[in-house]
Structure 1
Amino acid sequence: MPRRIRLLLIIESMGGSSRHVVDLIDGLDPERFEITLIHGTSRVDDYFAAALPRLRQRARVLGCPDLVREISPAHEARALRFVRRVIRDIRPDVVHCHSSKAGAIGRVAAKLCGVGKVFYTPHAYAFLAPEFGGKKRMVFVGIERFLSRHATTLTFNVSQGERSAALAEHLDRPDKFEVVYNGIADIPLPTKAEAREALGLPQDVPVAGVTARLVEQKDPMTSVRIAAQVLQARPDAHFAYIGDGDFEERMRQAAREAGVADRVHFLGYRKDADRLVTAFDAYLLTSLYEGMPYSLVEALRAGVPIAATRTTGNDEVVIEGENGTLFPVGDVQAGAVALLGLLDDPPSRERVRATYLERFTVRRMLDHIAARYEQRGTDE
């Protein structure tokens, strides 16, 4: 039997990037891969924490307290030393880094240690975030350009839009970037009635909703304003938020001021949110930017049509006239029109699910990435 490929995965941030890594560890064949995971310990979310006992059965899992989100030269120097020690210890054949901070530290460490294959998945480049402009944005672009050209075998982009952004900034040659969509497993889901009972939502009314963090990236104030307009136009409808975050109280106040607070439900974080999306008749996502949002893929899997902002990632999940509709970022009126259209005349569940089955299964994602891990030689 040939020797297993020694794979080192490195991640700092949580959310979609951690879920992607969990799926890799769960799905890669243990007879072909010997996996080590380095993860930051300062931002372990509930999903990742719940997965850790299972991951430890399939991989060597190492926490790194210095792998943190904020810019801190002292933390970064210690994290670099930590990663280099691990690389020297396990001598990986492949290093695969996820998100910007782990992507920088991991790729530098791998380059310094002479690792033959170094892969990177940004999960939305930092320079795409609206809050980064001017000189700070150009610093991030410069870092990505240098690391791609000098310390990366191949970048896996989670959307065509993300890849186009990399090429527009001349980060590297086009052949150094490949699109691999996030995939999820096609698991049994509860019925609409079962999901609504679990969430405490009314049964015989239209319900729109979202499963997302109530944080700035998701533009939750635009979301609640859209919800308010829709509920004023449809007195029989309700709206549900599954998720928590810093904006919740402001959103509650906006719903009260609009006179719809009795029909806007804040349901908090739920570890089973990906399954309970079946409670919705339509899904609303108002993100300012994305990489490739898992929540939209979960909506497709559940057969729930989507109204989403026309931004990177969203525009590759939502196909106008097939599974939903797109509207401009921050446009409350257009968002309300889009959501009302889906409530009034939704596409069939089978039509919505077709996009998921064609493009977003976890098996497609795993097969593509595993083939690159196993490919002989390097692409540099």
Structure 2
Amino acid sequence: MMPYRYRRIVFLIDSLGMGGAERLMVAYLSHFVATGFEPRVCALQVRDGNPVAQDIQQLGVPVDLLPVRHLRDRRAFPLLLRYLREHFADVLHTQLEFANTLGTVAAKVLGIPTVCTLHTMGNLMTGSLSRRVRAHLRHTAMQWSLKRFCDRVITVSEGTRQHYLRHGGFAPEQVMTIHNGISLAPFDELQSHVRQATREALGVPDDAPVLITVAVLRPQKGIQYMIAAMGEILRAVPGAYYLVVGDGEHEATLKHLAQEHGVTERVRFTGMRRDVPALLTASDVFVLPSMTEALPTVLAEAMAARRPIVASEVGGVPEMVEHGRNGLLVPPPLAPASSPPLVATHLAEACSYLLLHPEKASAMGQAGRAMMEQRFEIGRQAQRLGDLYRELLARRGK
């Protein structure tokens, strides 16, 4: 076993909300605490609650918060330098845009090996012109830092890796793919009554067909198209409900859209929830209508819960969802021939088909669980990541 001073891994992340990157980090931490590494987590932006912090602390992993807000915050760089010195980081593993940009530069100054994970293919250009320009500049700055200062870049899907090789100018040997993974335990430990109890708490009848999306509520998640599809779904499956799990900037707009389409009674906004396994168990079909994705962790969660998936054919999604095997893929909202009504129709047809053919839906759910166990269980991915840490330490003679 490596001596103590050579095995401290600092995970640097933008914040500790309930996003996929944060949940993936928790899954990795649950493995690393027993593998000879000493993990520690540092979040750069303080947000209300930092809900994942509690999960990390329950693993016995220290969590620190640095009160910086953005790259222009003059305190950010010196605070991070001091933090890394004080905690004797042997490897720095950064997650998300702000941490990737700032962390790689700080680690370079201190001579610390760095691993950086890219969870997206970049910011989808939505919003005002000034907002799009700022997003583009932030993403460009991150890529510049990673290309020059990061020892190894991890992408969460092969599609994401190819995107950055083509458009980001990265050297092939610098970028590797480690697919997202999750622990099966939270799903296997659920009691048989959870489905009924969760539905009762949500006000959903026991026998109702239920669709579900779990996401941060942003325009690029495409939930607006799914809400637009609900009218057509209800004509085919009159008893259907749609659960929207998560919060975010687009929530008020989505609620207004549900009113416009007259489906308020059948679209339930649950807000941010920590009991995602129970909510998936209470549903029948998982829907991911995104405009862009790298490889969302929630797909692995849906597969672990044995739920068939309807998803946009974007990014790394086809690496997890095989059309006709564990779900149905639909043309993405940004496809050349797509229009909002057509996107909604594709979603409605796929969702209605699975709800009306429960035996096929169940078979797809079982196939997804088998794929999850074989390819996306967190233990396999954690082993590869741990091997990478050891490789970087060995290069430095540690």
Worse overlay, 183-192 or 249-258: 249-258
Distance in 2, matches of 1:28 and 1:270, equals 26
Q: CA offset at residue 252 of structure 1?
A: 3.5
Q: CA offset at residue 31 of structure 1?
A: 5.8
Alignment correspondent of 1:35: 39
Residues 106 and 231 of structure 1: CA distance in aligned 2, closer, same or farther (over 3 Å): same
Alignment correspondent of 1:343: 355
Alpha-carbon displacement from aligned partner over 1:115-144 (angstroms, at most 9, x marks no partner): 1x210002114x342339986676456434
Native 8 Å contact 1:307 1:326 kept in 2? yes
Alignment correspondent of 1:377: 395
Mapped pair 1:167 → 2:165: yes
Distance in 1, matches of 2:252 and 2:134, equals 31
Residues 313 and 195 of structure 1: CA distance in aligned 2, closer, same or farther (over 3 Å): farther
Native 8 Å contact 2:32 2:39 kept in 1? no
Mapped pair 1:212 → 2:226: no
Native 8 Å contact 2:152 2:174 kept in 1? yes
Kindly provide the amino acid, as one letter, of the partner of residue 160 in structure 2: E
Q: CA offset at residue 170 of structure 1?
A: 4.1
- What percent identity do the matched residue pairs reach? 28
Q: CA offset at residue 373 of structure 1?
A: 0.6
Alignment correspondent of 2:339: none
Native 8 Å contact 2:41 2:61 kept in 1? no
Distance in 2, matches of 1:212 and 1:242, equals 6
Kindly provide the amino acid, as one letter, of the partner of residue 338 in structure 1: A
Alignment correspondent of 2:54: 50
Alignment correspondent of 2:115: 119
Distance in 2, matches of 1:38 and 1:119, equals 15
Residues 106 and 205 of structure 1: CA distance in aligned 2, closer, same or farther (over 3 Å): same
Q: CA offset at residue 363 of structure 1?
A: 0.5
Kindly provide the amino acid, as one letter, of the partner of residue 39 in structure 2: I
Alignment correspondent of 2:181: 183
Alignment correspondent of 2:381: 365
Q: CA offset at residue 82 of structure 1?
A: 1.2
Q: Given the alignment, which residue of 333, 355, 368 partners 1:352?
A: 368
Kindly provide the amino acid, as one letter, of the partner of residue 377 in structure 1: R
Kindly provide the amino acid, as one letter, of the partner of residue 2 in structure 1: M
Q: Superposition pairs for residues 278-293 of structure 1, below 5 Å?
A: 278-293=281-296
Alignment correspondent of 1:2: 2
Alpha-carbon displacement from aligned partner over 1:91-136 (angstroms, at most 9, x marks no partner): 3221111111100110000001111x210002114x3423399866
Q: CA offset at residue 155 of structure 1?
A: 0.7
Kindly provide the amino acid, as one letter, of the partner of residue 373 in structure 2: L
Q: Secondary structure at the match of 1:156?
A: strand
RMSD: 2.5
Native 8 Å contact 1:97 1:103 kept in 2? yes
Alignment correspondent of 1:131: 126
Q: CA offset at residue 174 of structure 1?
A: 0.8
Alignment correspondent of 1:223: 226
Distance in 1, matches of 2:44 and 2:322, equals 36
Q: CA offset at residue 20 of structure 1?
A: 2.2
Alignment correspondent of 1:91: 88
Mapped pair 1:236 → 2:239: yes
Worse overlay, 253-262 or 311-320: 253-262
Distance in 1, matches of 2:244 and 2:373, equals 26
Residues 248 and 7 of structure 1: CA distance in aligned 2, closer, same or farther (over 3 Å): closer
Mapped pair 1:300 → 2:303: yes
Native 8 Å contact 2:227 2:257 kept in 1? yes
Native 8 Å contact 2:100 2:146 kept in 1? no
Native 8 Å contact 1:130 1:288 kept in 2? no
Q: CA offset at residue 249 of structure 1?
A: 4.0
Native 8 Å contact 1:297 1:356 kept in 2? yes
Residues 145 and 237 of structure 1: CA distance in aligned 2, closer, same or farther (over 3 Å): closer
- Identify unmatched segments of 5+ residues in structure 1: none
Alignment correspondent of 2:25: 21
Worse overlay, 140-149 or 196-205: 140-149
Native 8 Å contact 1:190 1:278 kept in 2? no
Native 8 Å contact 2:198 2:282 kept in 1? yes
Native 8 Å contact 1:195 1:277 kept in 2? no
Q: Secondary structure at the match of 2:247?
A: coil
Residues 342 and 113 of structure 1: CA distance in aligned 2, closer, same or farther (over 3 Å): same
Q: CA offset at residue 334 of structure 1?
A: 1.0
Alignment correspondent of 1:152: 150
Residues 135 and 216 of structure 1: CA distance in aligned 2, closer, same or farther (over 3 Å): closer
Q: CA offset at residue 172 of structure 1?
A: 1.6
Alignment correspondent of 1:314: 317
Distance in 1, matches of 2:372 and 2:295, equals 13
Alignment correspondent of 2:329: 326
Mapped pair 1:104 → 2:101: yes
Residues 247 and 109 of structure 1: CA distance in aligned 2, closer, same or farther (over 3 Å): closer
Kindly provide the amino acid, as one letter, of the partner of residue 121 in structure 1: T
- Identify unmatched segments of 5+ residues in structure 2: 334-342
Distance in 2, matches of 1:283 and 1:31, equals 34
Q: Secondary structure at the match of 1:303?
A: coil
Distance in 1, matches of 2:172 and 2:303, equals 30
Q: Secondary structure at the match of 1:48?
A: helix
Distance in 1, matches of 2:386 and 2:290, equals 31
Distance in 2, matches of 1:269 and 1:141, equals 27
Alignment correspondent of 2:14: 12
